[in-house]
Amino acid sequence: MKKIALSGAGGQLGSVVRAALVARGVPLRSAAGSRPLVPLVEGEDVMHGDLRDPATVERLLDGVDVLIHFAGTSVERPLPEIIDNNLRALVEVYEGARRQGVRRVVFASSNHAIGMYPVTEHLGLDCALRPDGFYGLSKVWGEALARMYWDKHGIESICVRIGSCVERPTEPRHLSTWFGHRDLLHFLDRCVQAQDVGFITVWGVSANTRSWWDNSGAERLGYQPTQNAEDYAEAILARPNPLDALGQRFQGGGFVGIDYSRTTDAVDAAAAMPPAA
């Protein structure tokens, strides 16, 4: 059985994945940041430390086949913090993977790498990248870094542009972006078990009727989502939409309005332009 490392194991998604894999008896090493993890079972392989430190990365990846990389800043923050946690740390992680012979990295990218697309556009995996902030920009950079390490060093990467990964959808945007926990765990199983993936980017999304994203490329992994946000649509649409007008207009939702300075007329003109090639 393959040895798996999980970074960001103390975060929202990392906690879900860690608990599920430990319960299954998967050989797992879980890492958090500055706060030590409390073992879920006796003898669980846990650690913590700063991923900008090569020594921490060495401990994390020693003897590992696949890294699930969920660590990093996951919200819009000032650029220096984004650079430290999402750029510098990611380089150390890939360099550590190179030294330790890790064969595959599952990189948590984000839908915010394409958040400036209007909700009226249906996107394929080959769409132009349009980040909605410094966080989304860091994911664009991370996908490019993963591509380079495959091309130059043969480290396989699966870049997953995660939508709204919550237990159940709660707002209208989730009808298009929801990534259910059951589908997340199935997706990660396929990321570990699939053969010869090379470099691939996929949408981290369930089988939502109203999805904005064509995820046919995920067939290479054998990913077959079964959850659909439409099952919750009636209850969701009976409640007010928490997003403002700008957030409802663009796929990035609430991230779009952060430090946004264009006028309404400019927004209308941009939305009227033909889709990017």
- Active-site entry in 135, 149, 223, 260: 135
Instruction: Kindly state the helix (H) or strand (E) to which residue 184 belongs, with its residue range.
Output: helix 181-193
Reading the block at residue 86, the tokens are 């999402």
Q: Are 197 and 221 in contact (CB under 8 A)?
A: yes
Question: How far is 246 from 102, CA to CA, in rounded Å?
Answer: 42
What is the number of alpha carbons within 13 Å of residue 208 lying toward its C-beta?
Answer: 27
Count Cβ atoms below 10 Å from residue 154 Cβ, excluding itself. 10
**Catalytic residue list contains 135:** yes
What is the number of alpha carbons within 13 Å of residue 101 lying toward its C-beta?
Answer: 3
Question: How far is 72 from 84, CA to CA, in rounded Å?
Answer: 9
CB-based burial label for 114 (10 Å; 0-12, 13-18, 19+): buried
**Phi, psi (5° rounding) for residue 83?**
-60, -45
Q: Which residues have a catalytic role annotated?
A: 135
